[in-house]
Amino acid sequence: MAALTEAERKVVEWIADERAATLGLIEALVNTDSGSLDKAGVDAAGERIRGFLAARGIACDVVPHERYGDGIRATVGEGDGRTILLMGHRDTVYARGEAARRPFRVADGRGSGPGCCDMKAGLAMNAIVLSAFKTFGPPGPLVALFTADEEIGSPSSRALIEQEARRARAVFNAEPGRPNGGVVTGRKGGVFMKIEVTGKAAHAGNNLADGVSAIEEMARKIVDLHALTDPERGISCNVGTVAGGEVVNMVAPSATAGLDLRFIHPGDRDGAMAAIERIVAHRHLAGASTRLEITGEFKPLVASAESGKLFEHYAACAREFGQKVTGEFAGGCADSGFAASVGAPTLCGVGPIGGRAHSPDEYLDVESIVPRAQALALAVMRLA
Ligand SMILES: [Zn+2]
């Protein structure tokens, strides 16, 4: 650490000293169920963060929301200058009860439990970095958002993220770092949709011809929808869920499907949506009708000259601690796309390292927590 200034050394040493407190916050967060649709749970996770920050002299603003968890914003440092924004989401993909079944555990340097790397460790990292600058003085206005509903496309958080990103000169999103220590410099955009087909019930043996099979109509559409996938262009169209019918001896009167569109280039979104709408509108069976509904949407994280510089800056800071950081492209969507889409230089995946998110095998590399927090803190200091 020879290349650090005295002020920088103080901050990163303080962060190392706070390792147990940071791990304690991760444990408390993982053990608090906070599925996206569980407002009480997402707010309880927020309460843990607010308590942690309050004990370190940092007050939070709460942006209330009736349906989803409240938005939480913490600010350290004053001035009208442009901010540095740290982001993270409090929700997970897990239903209530998962935390009791799989509470946070550490074995052989690996943490486990629902949302441990995606992204409760990232939230705790941002909280400790914020606390460090509260203690030693921030290099400029530093804002952290602890948002509520990323896993379902951030219906309540998107406006807050865009508002904060517009006044930020750099955005760091603490989604999990890649297993090789890389960060994320690009992400696909995505649109999540629900398709509902209505047909007509009839007895499958006595009067089949009177029925209109919603399942058959849906099946034909699915084949057409999947054909829109263009791997070379980075477009994918995948039906991830299907349900339909009532009983085996009835022509299915209804069917539903969940559709996931992904794309790399922002310009591809509208063309792909138009193709999807055409396929949905095309009727294969007389008497069938179909509805399409967008249930969530993410903007792609598109690399820019500015975000490229931010990556180089972060990687140089990480090198001070002996970390080799690569910039990677991820097919998964995240809130960083919203920040980037309003023009803020944005880097994603700067959180502690982990993997296998959204599965019972999700893990957190516990030894990466302090180094990632230190790299982020140095990057913040050196942006000033
Ligand atoms: Zn996440």
pLDDT, tens only, 105-162: 999 999 999 999 999 999 999 999 999 999 999 889 999 999 999 999 999 999 999 9
CA 117 – ligand 1 centroid, Å: 8
Q: Percent of the chain, pLDDT > 90?
A: 97
What per-residue confidence (pLDDT) applies to 149?
A: 97
CA 256 – ligand 1 centroid, Å: 27
CA 334 – ligand 1 centroid, Å: 7
CA 90 – ligand 1 centroid, Å: 9
Which single residue is written with the structure tokens 């993220």? 161
CA 275 – ligand 1 centroid, Å: 29
What per-residue confidence (pLDDT) applies to 258?
A: 98
pTM of full prediction above 0.85:
yes
| Among the ranges given (71-80, 145-154, 164-173, 191-200), the one the predictor scored with the smallest mean pLDDT | 71-80
CA 116 – ligand 1 centroid, Å: 10
Q: How confident is the model at residue 231 (pLDDT cuts 50, 70, 90)?
A: very high
Q: How confident is the model at residue 1 (pLDDT cuts 50, 70, 90)?
A: low
What per-residue confidence (pLDDT) applies to 73?
A: 98
pLDDT beyond 80 at 2: no
CA 335 – ligand 1 centroid, Å: 8
Please, which residues bridge with residue 198 across strands? 254, 289
Q: How confident is the model at residue 384 (pLDDT cuts 50, 70, 90)?
A: confident
CA 204 – ligand 1 centroid, Å: 45
What is the per-residue pLDDT across 249-293, written as a single tens digit (0 to 9) for each? 999 999 999 999 999 999 999 999 999 999 999 999 999 999 999
Which single residue is written with the structure tokens 């914003």? 73
Average pLDDT, the chain: 96
CA 173 – ligand 1 centroid, Å: 9
CA 244 – ligand 1 centroid, Å: 30
Summarize the confidence of residues 35-55 as an average pLDDT: 98
CA 353 – ligand 1 centroid, Å: 12
List, as one string, the DSSP characters of 292-330. Answer: EEEEEEE--B---HHHHHHHHHHHHHHHTTT----EEEE
CA 175 – ligand 1 centroid, Å: 5
User: Residue 200 — left, alpha, or beta (φ > 0 → left; ψ -120 to 50 → alpha)?
Assistant: beta
Distance between CA atoms of residues 176 and 150, nearest Å: 14
CA 119 – ligand 1 centroid, Å: 5
CA 40 – ligand 1 centroid, Å: 19
CA 150 – ligand 1 centroid, Å: 7
Distance between CA atoms of residues 141 and 79, nearest Å: 6
